Structure 1
Amino acid sequence: MGAKPPPKGRGALGNPGSRYLSHTTETVDDGWHSNAPPPLRTTLSVDHVRSALSWNDAPDIPFDRSLNPYRGCEHGCIYCYARPYHAWIDLSPGLDFESRLFHKPDLPERLRDELGTRSYRPAPIAIGTATDAYQPIEHTLELTRRTIEVLLDCRHPFTIITKSALIERDTDLLGAAADLGLARVILSITTLQPGLARTMEPRAAAPTRRLQTIATLAKQGIPVGIMIAPIIPVLTDHELERLMAAGREAGACAACYSLLRLPGEVSGLFREWLDETAPDASKHVMNRLREMHGGLEQDRRFGARMTGSGVYADLMLQRFRLAERRLGFGPPPPLRCDLFRPPDRHGQLSLF
């Protein structure tokens, strides 16, 4: 018998404690008393930030700065590599990550401050690299929209990666930025199988809806690409060419991919979900994944962690390159940094 199914609209099957806690609790039911949790509801808390931008110097990541308006993500993707971040604040990477969300109301203002420092030098900012900047709570909070307004006002280049059709709301800002060579969007799609997508990414837009979003953005003149991520051996790897073709037909001008990796607590959550959802394929999936990660569930080496290594990983790269050429994908258009202007403070002219 499999594990208990997840709550409706959620990805994780449970709520394991943070690895940093000295004590944990477990749900019990002896027929007399139970400490089973109440029905799951999404909660929203404030996450004040001292800095809007996060910096990295990883050689295999095509940006050195990023920002995320939200902590946690209601999309509930079971494979999300950002889940362990919740453990840092003593919450579970499981259902807590999907339901106990945090927003950063002062992020646009902090960003304006940072862009206004004398030492700042512009380069593309990646938005939504950890948690989706267009997850459902953005509909009412509009933090991402306010952030884009700051960037457009400063003529600062940026990229956005999302699974959400909500980005269509901001085509006015994105179109204006794209006309100046400042904006690029990537839609992430994992599978074209609706049933699999529903259990694996329960609150993200359906795959066909994401393809519609690519078409909508492309028709507005906004450079948009498709990211096939993560590729899950056995479950979705056979869809690579179909996904690329669907993205190209919708109007995507560039494509990329990444292989599933299971950091920290994500490994246990994913394997539990896999045993429940695809028990017959579970062992095969994990064995193939380890083959592509040098015997591990994730390979931390730069250059290998995203695409894997070995025979199957090499074959995946060859398939991608062949499809990329056949479908006419090219490199994404460059973003301009020469138009940057520091933010205007209180209507005063800059002295520098």
Structure 2
Amino acid sequence: MSAARDVNAPRRLQAFVNTCVGLLPGLLLALAIALFSQVTADNSIAPAMLLALVFGLALNRFNAMPALKPGIAFGANVILRSGVALLGARISFDMVAALGLPMVLLLALSVAATMGFGLLLARFTDFQNRFALLTAGAVAICGASAAIAIASVLPKDENAEDRLVFAIVGVTVLSTVAMVLYPPLTAFFGLDDHTAGIFIGASVHDVAQVVGAGFSISNEAGETATLVKLLRVSMLAPTVLFIAILAQRYAGSEVDSAGKRPPLLPNFVIVFIVLAALNSVFAVPPVISGTLATLSGWMLLTAIAAVGVKTSLSDITTVGKTAVAMITAQTIFIALFIAAGMAILANMQG
């Protein structure tokens, strides 16, 4: 048995090396964009995160190159989530407490309200409740990841994959638009960095765009936005469980359990929570926290560059006007809901 393992070990090592080599070209492109963005930001007033996204979008054509595509996808996924996970070392439970119970309740209400609004819209369109749940869940919780998780527990039919593609493309494009528009919008309304971070974290769909939008304002806004966003992500588990129960109750055997379902709580969120807990309980040496913060910053900048390269602005034409209108309406709804809720809480506290 051990001999067999010894024989296979070189093959596994070679496969691992080949995989790493295959990822290298795309990752180097994303890193080059990140470096150029940081240098440009250091010599201008433009934020590095926004520059990385814009430069990445301008180089979208490189995503079609087979040699670059794997590394770009790895950067936009694994590097991004690793960077977010390391942010936990910069965040403590004191920051969560600073948000307050009312804000946590507002986030929970925004998820429920957006899901309900999506189902209401479905009654006035040709889309089924299944598509409404996909898009509303993606908008309310965590973008494409939520859509994939929700799709895994919904009854399947011949249009299931088309609905999922529509939801993923739609929320990704709108989330990118929100990343660009929301930071200047918060400045226009005179929000301070902390409040701007809360609004962005509570209203932008995908983690990548939340990070990009938040840190394009300031470190405080970025950390606050990330914290708020991950609180929304943590609501994926109960939401998917609730939808799964409904699906099993009303659809029974239609639920497809053959495939592997995504985890209800992503691993990077678990790592984030563990690091935040350690940072809250123990005194982390500044040299360690500083190193992790620097590493996290470069990982996130590289990931945002990869997200830009991976995103095609022309993809929105493949979604369909009605689907775009539906997802746009849900996006506007959650932004207005959060803005109204924050205003009410501010008046109550004032």
- Same topology, TM > 0.5: no
TM-score by length of 2: 0.26
TM-score by length of 1: 0.26
Please identify which structure carries the higher strand content: 1
